[in-house]
């Protein structure tokens, strides 16, 4: 794996909110970063962060994948049900994360509480969905159960995801945060591949009946339950047992220079155990305000990036017209939503895993430039995706290829921009920064991510129910 741990910011002016290269390297010295990255524990921790992200994102992507089933089960409400599901899987984790942060409760809860309890809850929700689909005949009850399950899983993710980012931001290397982002991107691809593979093995490429889709959905919910069990297992058995967890996360870490000045030590880094299990006593609001001064441009860029992505994907291109009158293709129609989901997720994963370009972006693009990139991306992607989907501006055959290209570009740019922003923010803090402030830097970035996802989903809902309602699924007037 190429070394992306040192992502110093070069050629930045004094006005840059995230600071200069020296700001990024002051909290941890170069020697400390190199020592950590070369240690045997670093590899297992990086893999652990990848697994945590893979598992906590699994329920979100599983519920996202149910939109194929919803479209078949409720054809007259396909767009509305899809957009409602998107809202149910996004807004609750925004509200949950916001309340935990503003009240300071997230600082008083242990990592064990924030990772183990939600994981168990996800497993219980998955079991409940399987029972509802097996024994309840009411379609309306099933739909409302899916909405409630999405809401509860979203609340659980609102606790887990910030905790994982907080924890990753406390280690010296940016690789921990990068592996969380990589795990996020990988989840969508893995879930899509699992879904497509199961479908191919059981039914081939032929269109599926509603009953067959319902049976496959049972399998997806069972896998979601296993992901919920895996979350506490990875945290308790892999992450929490490492010596680095105690040094950087559980204890209040101080850099060697500080130790030399205050303790007269021989240069060994110290860690003061505050007691408890990673409970911070510093005011959450005060720490957040300190962190905000350094990370706000990256936070806003992340929000704009995800608003653009979630406003345009997956419902609008997933529901677009694919063929003109008299030229229907039921097989393509039955696979189209899965294809749209897979294309975006593959692009997102590529954007989050291209080490050299990510390092280049973190070194050479100032925070203001990243913000400008997010805005330019929005101005480019909205007309590209909408003219192919709704209102469709050219023949369905051409539009379908343009839509796929647009969705791929949307995914790649989403993964790349968001990862660069997250890699920079937790390390762009001055010397002597407490763990509380460092955690809040990551917390604010997650707040920006959640705000973008939630507002993007709301924008998609408003577009689908408002100005684009009569265009979604409608073919270009010129025919096929």
- The CATH number for 237's domain is 1.20.1250.20
Domain range spanning residue 415?
21-465
Determine if the pTM surpasses 0.85.
no
Give me the pLDDT at residue 365, please. Answer: 82
DSSP 195-206: HHHHHHHHHTTS
Does residue 9 lie in a domain region? no
pLDDT value for 327: 64
Does residue 393 belong to any structural domain of this protein? yes
pLDDT of residue 8: 40
d(CA 416, CA 405): 17
Q: What's the number of domains the chain is made of? A: 1
The span from the CA of 311 to the CA of 305, in Å, is 10
Element (H, E) at 142: helix 139-169
Round to whole Å and give the CA distance between 15 and 25.
Answer: 18
Q: Report the alpha-carbon distance of residue 312 to residue 320 in Å, rounded.
A: 12
What pLDDT, on a 0 to 100 scale, did the predictor assign at position 396? 92
What angle is formed at CA 194 by the lines to CA 193 and CA 199, rounded to 5 degrees?
95
Please choose, from the candidates 175, 127, 173, 135, the residue with its C-alpha nearest in 3D space to the C-alpha of residue 153.
127
* pLDDT tens series, the chain, 480 aa: 434 344 444 433 333 444 444 444 446 788 888 899 899 899 999 999 999 999 999 999 999 888 888 888 888 887 788 888 888 988 998 899 888 877 778 878 899 999 999 999 999 999 999 999 999 999 899 999 999 999 999 999 999 999 999 899 889 888 898 899 999 999 999 999 998 998 899 888 888 888 888 888 999 999 999 999 999 999 999 999 999 998 888 876 555 544 444 444 444 444 555 444 555 555 567 787 888 888 899 999 999 999 999 999 999 999 999 987 666 788 898 899 999 999 999 999 999 998 889 878 877 887 788 999 999 999 999 999 999 999 999 899 999 999 999 999 999 999 999 999 988 776 667 767 777 788 888 888 989 998 999 999 999 999 998 999 999 989 987 654
Q: For position 311, what pLDDT does the model report?
A: 96
Q: How far apart are the C-alpha atoms of 305 and 376, rounded to whole Å?
A: 10
45 within some domain: yes
Taking the CB of residue 372, how many other CB atoms lie within 10 A of it?
Answer: 14
Is 6 within a domain? Answer: no
Residue 470 lies in a domain: no
Q: What's residue 271's pLDDT?
A: 52
Rounded Cα–Cα distance for residues 340 and 20 (Å): 40
Looking at the domain assignment, is residue 471 inside a domain?
A: no
CA dist list (Å): 346 to 4, 151, 192: 22, 26, 9
- The residue assigned the tokens 């970063």 is 33
In a domain, 235, yes or no: yes
3 state SS of 254: strand
CA atoms of 447 and 435, how far apart (whole Å): 18
């Amino acid at each position: 794996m190429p070394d992306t741990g040192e992502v110093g910011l070069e050629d930045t002016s004094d006005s840059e909110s995230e600071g200069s290269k020296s700001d990024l390297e002051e909290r941890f010295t170069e020697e400390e970063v190199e020592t950590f990255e070369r240690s045997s524990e670093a590899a297992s921790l990086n893999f652990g962060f990848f697994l945590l992200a893979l598992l906590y994102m699994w329920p979100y992507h599983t519920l996202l994948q149910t939109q194929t089933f919803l479209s078949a089960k409720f054809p007259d409400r396909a767009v509305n049900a899809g957009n409602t599901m998107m809202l149910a899987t996004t807004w609750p984790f925004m509200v949950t994360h916001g309340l935990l942060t503003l009240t300071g409760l997230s600082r008083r809860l242990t990592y064990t509480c924030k990772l183990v309890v939600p994981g168990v809850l996800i497993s219980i929700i998955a079991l409940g969905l399987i029972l509802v689909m097996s024994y309840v005949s009411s379609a309306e009850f099933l739909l409302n159960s899916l909405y409630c399950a999405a809401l509860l899983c979203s609340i659980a993710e609102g606790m887990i995801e910030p905790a994982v980012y907080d924890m990753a931001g406390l280690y010296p290397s940016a690789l921990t945060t990068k592996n969380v982002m990589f795990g996020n991107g990988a989840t969508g691809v893995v879930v899509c591949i699992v879904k497509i593979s199961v479908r191919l093995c059981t039914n081939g490429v032929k269109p599926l009946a509603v009953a067959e889709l319902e049976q496959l959905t049972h399998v997806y919910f069972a896998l979601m339950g296993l992901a919920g069990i895996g979350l506490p297992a990875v945290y308790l058995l892999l992450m929490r047992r490492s010596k680095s967890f105690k040094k950087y996360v559980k204890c209040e870490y101080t850099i060697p220079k500080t130790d030399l000045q205050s303790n007269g030590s021989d240069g060994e880094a110290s860690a003061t155990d505050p007691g408890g299990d990673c409970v911070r006593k510093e005011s959450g609001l005060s720490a957040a305000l300190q962190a905000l001064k350094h990370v706000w441009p990256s936070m806003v860029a992340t929000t704009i990036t995800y608003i653009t992505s979630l406003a345009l994907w997956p419902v609008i291109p997933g529901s677009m017209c694919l063929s003109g009158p008299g030229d229907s293709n039921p097989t393509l129609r039955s696979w189209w939503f899965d294809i749209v989901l897979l294309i975006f997720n593959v692009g997102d994963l590529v954007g989050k895993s291209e080490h050299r370009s990510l390092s280049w972006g973190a070194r050479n693009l100032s925070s203001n430039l990243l913000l400008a990139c997010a805005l330019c991306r929005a101005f480019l992607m909205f007309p590209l995706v909408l003219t192919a989907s709704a209102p469709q501006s050219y023949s369905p055959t051409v539009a379908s290829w343009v839509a796929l290209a647009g969705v791929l570009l949307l995914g790649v740019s989403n993964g790349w921009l968001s990862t660069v922003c997250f890699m920079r923010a937790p390390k762009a803090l001055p010397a002597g920064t407490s763990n509380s402030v460092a955690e809040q830097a990551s917390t604010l970035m997650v707040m920006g991510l959640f705000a973008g996802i939630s507002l993007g989903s709301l924008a998609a809902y408003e577009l689908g129910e408002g100005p684009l309602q009569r265009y979604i699924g409608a073919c270009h007037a010129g025919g096929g």
